[in-house]
């Protein structure tokens, strides 16, 4: 695998999260071990005190060796080696377990030497609501070589370990969830990176496809304009000059637009200067109506003639792009009204057309890169989905806000809000 910055960051993040989870699991294991030890000590101390009281009642001398034997995690046998009463034993067990705050269900049984069998005592419940479910009379078995002894069993001891560590389980679960989310996010990121690479390949291919016919147009136009028949015909000469001028401008547009479309970042350097926005919009109008003879474009300025400080080249591009879209996707005789009005201390530009509008499920995505609205009857004018993305990008670079909405009747309105900071 090739280690670029993205791969290194992903690997470091993954190792960090795995390390944190490993530490949490180690902490959980330590807490579990400590909890087992603490409960074992509580049980041992409580049973030792029970034996001490029994020997005290019988006025006998307590042996030096411990009478308590741990058979399993939840099963203890206590060799009293002296007589004791069952009722007294139950009272002592309750009292001593309460002293050490052992809030846990337990059951006990005693060996009867007369019948040579274990006699079940009682199931003492603390928190269990289903006593019969946990009772196990057959779990108490005889121990060879012992006469006076009793056994205690804790049915919910293992469950108690888990519940007492609830806080640690929650932390561990949260960390595992974070790991899952991280892995899922990385997979999405890698998939998005793959799509970005495909987009770059697409853009590079389209750059070639655009430039080849455009170069042919410029070569043919520059040759044609030098011909005597064209030079002596002012009308044809004027049209050829327009072709050359607009072809050169289109060539610049392709370079700028495709450059913006190649990345989400801001790679365009704006050359801001003061210019009359109405005059630029009039130029957009003239060029659009020259290209589309059936279109009607109106420019209206209401009240504010202050110059706008912005990149005039890019402003012309975005305005022409909006108007051209309205014409291409509009009616047979499209009408576009461009209005410049004061808005607070800034300006508001509105591009209103009389076209079919945009369906609600698509209108929120029209400024997304490469997004194209399905148009069954307009396949011949489908673009590449970078026009309005470019418009929004340039507005964002200027610090302007752009919005789009369907009109109450027909068509859509695109609004650009120019703040006071962009005015002279």
pLDDT tens figures, 321-348:
899 888 888 888 899 999 998 888 889 9
Do residue 279 and residue 390 come from a single domain?
Answer: yes
Q: Is residue 179 part of a domain?
A: no
Task: Please give the Cα distance from 189 to 241 (Å, whole number).
Answer: 48
In the predicted model, what is the mean pLDDT of the chain? 81
- Cα 219 to Cα 217: distance, rounded to the nearest angstrom: 6
Indicate whether 299 and 257 sit together in one domain: no
Asked if the structure places residue 181 within a domain, the reply is: no
Report how far residue 200's alpha carbon sits from residue 134's, in angstroms, rounded to the nearest whole number: 67
Q: Give the alpha-carbon dihedral of 372, 377, 379, 384, to 10 degrees.
A: -20
Q: In this structure, is residue 176 part of a structural domain?
A: no
Cα 235 to the chain's mean position, in Å? 60
The parent domain of residue 295 ranges over 273-422
Q: Given a cut of 80, is residue 97 above it in pLDDT?
A: yes
Mean pLDDT of 1-16: 73
Within-domain flag for 183: no
Do residues 122 and 90 touch, judged by C-beta distance below 8 A?
yes
CATH of the domain at 408: 3.30.565.10
126 shares a domain with 11: yes
Residue at which a domain ends, from 261, 284, 319: 261
- Using the 3D structure, point to which of 237, 261, 285 is the last residue of a domain: 261
Please tell me the distance from the alpha carbon of residue 361 to that of residue 174, in angstroms, as a whole number. 36
Nearest to 349 by CA among 310, 292, 291, 294: 310
Q: Per the domain annotation, does 170 fall within a domain?
A: no
Residue 335: burial class (beta carbons within 10 Å; 0-12, 13-18, 19+): middle
pLDDT in tens, 127-160: 656 566 667 777 888 888 788 889 998 887 777 6
How many other β-carbons are positioned within 10 Å of the β-carbon of residue 276?
14
Predicted local confidence at residue 71, as pLDDT = 86
User: Do both 219 and 291 map to the same domain?
Assistant: no
Do 304 and 228 share a structural domain?
A: no
The reply to whether 185 falls in a domain is: no
Residue 293 falls inside a structural domain: yes
Q: Are residues 38 and 78 in the same domain?
A: yes
In total, how many domains does the chain have? Answer: 3
Q: Does some domain include residue 267?
A: no
Considering only residues 127 and 170, tell me which one the structure prediction assigns the higher pLDDT: 170
Same domain, 326 and 234: no
Same domain, 248 and 279: no
CA distances 387 to 24, 86, 210, 393, Å, are 51, 92, 15, 10
Q: Do 249 and 297 fall into the same domain?
A: no
């Amino acid at each position: 695998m090739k280690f670029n910055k993205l791969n290194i960051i992903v690997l470091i993040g993954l190792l960090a999260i795995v390390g944190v989870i490993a530490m949490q699991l180690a902490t959980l294991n330590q807490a579990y071990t400590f909890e087992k030890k603490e409960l074992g000590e509580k049980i041992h101390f409580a049973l030792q005190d029970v034996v001490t009281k029994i020997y005290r009642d019988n006025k006998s001398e307590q042996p030096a060796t411990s009478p308590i034997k741990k058979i399993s995690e939840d099963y203890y046998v206590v060799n009293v080696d002296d007589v004791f009463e069952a009722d007294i034993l139950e009272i002592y067990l309750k009292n001593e377990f309460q002293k050490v705050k052992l809030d846990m269900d337990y059951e006990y049984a005693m060996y009867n030497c007369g019948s040579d069998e274990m006699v079940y005592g009682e199931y003492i419940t603390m928190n269990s609501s289903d006593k019969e479910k946990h009772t196990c009379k057959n779990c108490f078995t005889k121990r060879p070589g012992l006469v006076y002894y009793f056994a205690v069993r804790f049915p919910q001891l293992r469950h108690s370990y888990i519940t007492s560590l609830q806080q640690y389980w929650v932390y561990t679960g949260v960390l595992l969830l974070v790991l899952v989310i991280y892995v899922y996010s990385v997979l999405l990121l890698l998939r998005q990176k793959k799509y970005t690479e495909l987009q770059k390949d697409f853009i590079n291919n389209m750059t070639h496809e655009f430039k080849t016919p455009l170069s042919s147009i410029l070569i043919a136009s520059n040759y044609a304009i030098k011909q005597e028949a064209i030079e002596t015909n002012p009308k044809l000469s004027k049209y050829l000059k327009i072709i050359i001028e607009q072809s050169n401008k289109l060539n610049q547009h392709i370079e700028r637009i495709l450059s913006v479309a190649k990345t989400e970042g801001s790679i365009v350097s704006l050359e801001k200067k003061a210019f009359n926005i109405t005059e630029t919009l009039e130029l957009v109008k003239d060029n659009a109506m020259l290209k589309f003879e059936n279109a009607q474009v109106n420019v209206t300025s209401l009240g504010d003639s202050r110059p706008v400080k912005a990149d005039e080249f890019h402003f012309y591009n975005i305005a022409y792009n909006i108007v051209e879209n309205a014409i291409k996707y509009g009616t047979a005789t499209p009408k576009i009204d461009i209005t410049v009005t004061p808005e607070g201390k800034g300006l508001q530009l509105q591009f209103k057309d009389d076209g079919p509008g945009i369906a609600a499920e698509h209108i929120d995505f029209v400024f997304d890169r490469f997004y194209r609205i399905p148009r069954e009857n307009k396949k011949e004018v489908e673009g590449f989905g970078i026009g309005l993305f470019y418009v929004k990008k340039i507005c964002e670079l200027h610090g302007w806000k752009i919005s789009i909405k369907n009109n109450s009747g027909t068509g859509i309105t695109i609004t650009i809000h120019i703040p006071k900071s962009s005015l002279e």
